[in-house]
Each structure stands twice: as C-alpha cells, then as structure tokens.
Amino acid sequence: MQQHLKKMMENALTEHETPHRVNRYISEADWDKIYEAIKTHEFSFFPNSLNPNSYKNLMPWESLNKIITEHRLCSPRMRLFKNGESIPENDYSVSKISPGNTVFIDILVERLYYYLREGASLIIDAIEELYQPLKDFTIGLENLLNLPIKVNAYLSWKDVRGFEKHWDGHDVLILQIHGKKKWFIYGKTQKYPVYMNPHCEINVPEKHIWDKTLEEGDLLYIPRGMWHHAEAINEPSLHLTFGIKRNIATDYINWLQEQLFKKEEFRKDIPFSDEIIKLDEYQRDIKKSIIHALEEYTLESFLIYKRSKIHRKSINLPFAAQSLIFKKPLNEYAIKTTCYNSSNLDIKNGNGILKFNGKVLHFSKSCYNFFSVLSNNEVHSLEKLLNILPKKTNQENKLLFITSLVHKGIIEVLKYNN
C-alpha cells in the first residue's frame, strides 16, 4: 500500500476511536462520575473537568466567526434572545433576492453587534453539525451513552438573562468554553417531566436552591425538569449545551404501536358499544395479545432500534453519486463505515443483520466477517475487504456489493490522490 494512503488511514483511525474522541476532552475518571450522575438523574457540578489543553478546540472564537460568516443561519437555527424575549430576525438581518429569485437572509453585522452589546444572547442550534471537532466529540458521547445528542451554543456579553427561568424536557450537560456565566438552579416541576405531557402542572419555583459562576473548563449536569436560568457577567461568555434525549416508556409504546400494525388482531375493529358480549371478548383477547406483543417486541429490540437511529449523515461525493465507483488501480481506495456502533450488528437464524439508521439490512452469514471488520470504525483498504468477502463471489460482484453499500450511505470511500 502507498505510504501516504497508509498515513491517511492511520490518521482516520485515531479520529474514529470513540473513547479517544471523548478522552481528549474529559478524563476517564471524570467521565465515570458524569455518567453516574446522568444515570441517576442527579444534578451535579463538575469544576475543572475539561482538559485545559484541549477544551477550547471544541469551539474557538475564530471557528465560531467562520460558522456565522459562511452559513446562512436564519431563525430559529440562529436567534437572539434578551430577557426571555426573542429579537425579531428582521431587526438584525435583511431579506435579499438573488438573480434567480431565491430569497435569503443576510445578517446586518452592525445591527447584530449592537444587539449583542445591548445584552442580547446569541444562540446557535445543532452547532455540532457545523464544526467537525465538536461533531466528533458529540459522536463519542453518543456512543458512550447510546443516546442522541444535540448541541446548542450560547453566547452572551452582558449581565442580562437570555432566557427566563425555564426547564427542559431533556437532560443537559453545560460546558463552559470561554468566559464565565452565573447559573441559578431551582427545584423540579414534576418527577421526570416531558414537554408533551398535558398533565404537567406548572408551579414555577420562587427561590433558587443552588447558584454558582461557571468558569472556563467547568461542566454542569442538569437533569430534565429542573428550573434554571443563567446570566453572563459583563464579559464574553460562550457555553455549549449538550441536550441528551433519554428513552422513556412512552417511546417504547409508540414504537410498539408501529410494530402492532403488522398484526391482524391489532387492526381489527372494536365492536359497537351495544355488542356487550363481543366487547367483553374483545377486551379479553386484546389483553392477551398485548401481553404476547410485549414478549415478542422486547425492550431490548426497541433499544437496539433506537441505537441504530443515532446516526449522523455523512456525504460521500463524488463516489456515492457514481454507478461504478471503483476503477483500477484498486489499491488507491479505502473504506470506512458511517455506523459508529458495532452493537448494531447481529447474527440471527444463521443470517447477518445490520441495523442502520432505523432500517434493517439482512445479509448472508458469509458476509458477517466483512461487516464485523468494518464495524470497528477503522479505515480499511478496499483490497483487504475484497479478500474478506466470500471466495466464491467473483471480484466484479464483490465490487457491486460494496458499491451498493456506498449508495445506501452505510459505508464511505476514501481515495488517495482524489
């Protein structure tokens, strides 16, 4: 294999090791404590828990400026808030029409600076999608927690609240990256509250139970439902909020409901209300069917499905848009998977199964090795993978098989000298 390609593959390999992605920023000992707090829903403060040599790389000011400059981030992806009120987007940006009649929003920088100087907070949603080091770290955390994570950036300059006192329907990890911010934590509204719960009583707590000024490198874990607000202290502050969506029983039931459409007894009409005997029978039968369904569609299968949905799209052009991707010499190509979790791979009844982005891919047992080699997230030479595929399949069909996986977005092609 060519030396450059080998080097590139080695670099890619270190980039794709999950623990490495997280250990670069949080030590294993600190992560263990954070993990315990998340598991037990225990509000916790972790001072100085971010590695001082690296955490600023999660969102340097220059990279943030580049993100805002180079993307057309319109509301609500990027928004300004002051004292709990959103500042109308057209107060700091203008709609423009391109020669092709496309309308787009352009920021008026002078107005933006003015609002920020006046105490507005700037919020960018899902910022991990826009910055690779942050995305890598987020993927690492997702793999450790087996839960999906979305990151928002909050920037403030004045001792003015962005949001008023509120609670979130998901857990949050707050990482203070630049400057300081003062946090006020209040009690809970309800145990395990969720946004869509119509039975949630809103009793806004009056007095805070905890307050602290977060300094650079500090981390705070707020379980869902805890009221909080934050204020900067008249100096630039940037924190990243990692929103963690936990799985709850109603998620399992919603998934179960989708599975139950496959079964006749769950599609069957409920008798009319004057058919008392039939109604009784129906009640008895459906109870049995529900118990049976819970045994068939287990919590474990649901969790595997949810894990497979934790998938971040990755675009692989020019390769994935070509019907025939590989041209000789084949030793210039390398392959890696876009599925980060090897637990999505399984063998059942002698056949291989790959759960990918909520879909299920069945393949013959003879390809199992191929997938299990790929699923460790390393980068592999195409030639090595061709050799792992069954000997009786000819080269052309092996290449077509690999091509079909690239077309599905399951694996990606890398090429030296691209």
Ligand X SMILES: O=C(O)CCC(=O)C(=O)O
Chain residues binding ligand X by CB under 6 A are 121, 154, 161-163, 172, 174, 230, 241
Q: Measured at the alpha carbon of residue 32, what is the angle toward residues 29 and 37, in degrees to the nearest 5?
A: 135
Q: What is the smallest separation between the CB atom of 155 and ligand X, expressed in angstroms?
A: 9
**What is 37-75 written as a DSSP string?**
HHHHT--EEETT-B-TTTGGGGS-HHHHHHHHHHS---T
Q: What is the smallest separation between the CB atom of 105 and ligand X, expressed in angstroms?
A: 23
In terms of CB distance, is 183 or 255 closer to ligand X?
Answer: 183
Contact 155, 149 (CB under 8 A): no
Alpha-helical regions (H) of 310-394: 368-374, 382-388
Nearest to 182, CA basis, from 159, 155, 205, 198: 159
Task: Give SS3 for 409.
Answer: coil
Task: Give SS3 for 33.
Answer: helix
In terms of CB distance, is 163 or 192 closer to ligand X?
Answer: 163
In terms of CB distance, is 44 or 342 closer to ligand X?
Answer: 44
Q: What is the smallest separation between the CB atom of 153 and ligand X, expressed in angstroms?
A: 9
In terms of CB distance, is 161 or 380 closer to ligand X?
Answer: 161
In terms of CB distance, is 189 or 241 closer to ligand X?
Answer: 241
Residue 333: how many CA atoms within 13 Å on its side-chain side?
21
- State the residue number with the nearest CB to ligand X: 162
In terms of CB distance, is 221 or 252 closer to ligand X?
Answer: 221
Q: What is the smallest separation between the CB atom of 119 and ligand X, expressed in angstroms?
A: 11
Q: What is the smallest separation between the CB atom of 121 and ligand X, expressed in angstroms?
A: 5
For residue 113, count other CB atoms closer than 10 A to its CB.
Answer: 12
Q: What is the smallest separation between the CB atom of 407 and ligand X, expressed in angstroms?
A: 39
